[in-house]
């Protein structure tokens, strides 16, 4: 293991086609997923949840996040240098308020099968 490149690779790769408009590289090891994702203003992810914990760090732009169950969502804006923590299985969605680049960190759940992506090994 060592240095990992997250720029200039798979920039047209849809990160999560089922629920997200974001594009960029996704790297995975057996326990960690890191994605550097670009969102065009007005795009983002639909409301979804997953069994992994997730931290979304904003490098550039601003995103609006809604986190929590319907009717009890907490909605807030995340700016460059800030992050949003998404606990496992808690519904969330986000929209880019301007062109934005974020880095997502997930803890992978043992026993689940994950799609194609680069490896961190």
Q: Please tell me the distance from the alpha carbon of residue 3 to that of residue 97, in angstroms, as a whole number.
A: 31
Low-confidence ranges of the chain (pLDDT < 70): 1-13, 111-121
pLDDT, position 2: 64
So where are the chain's domains? 26-109
CA-based nearest residue to 94, from 81, 8, 86: 86
Structure confidence at residue 71 (pLDDT): 81
DSSP state of 30: S
pLDDT value at position 28?
Answer: 82
Tell me, what's the pLDDT at 121? 34
pLDDT of residue 120: 42
Q: How far apart are alpha carbons 43 and 24 in whole angstroms? A: 14
Topology of the domain covering 26-109: Jelly Rolls (2.60.120)
């Amino acid at each position: 293991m060592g240095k990992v490149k997250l720029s200039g690779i798979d920039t047209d790769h849809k990160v999560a086609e089922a629920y997200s408009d974001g594009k960029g590289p996704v790297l995975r090891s057996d326990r960690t997923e890191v994605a550097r994702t670009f969102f065009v203003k007005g795009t983002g992810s639909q409301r979804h949840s997953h069994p992994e914990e997730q931290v979304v760090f904003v490098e550039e732009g601003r995103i609006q996040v809604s986190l929590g169950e319907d009717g009890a969502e907490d909605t807030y804006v995340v700016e460059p240098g800030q992050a949003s923590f998404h606990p496992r299985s808690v519904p969330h969605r986000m929209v880019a308020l301007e062109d934005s680049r974020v880095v997502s960190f997930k803890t992978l759940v043992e026993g689940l099968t994950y799609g194609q992506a680069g490896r961190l090994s």
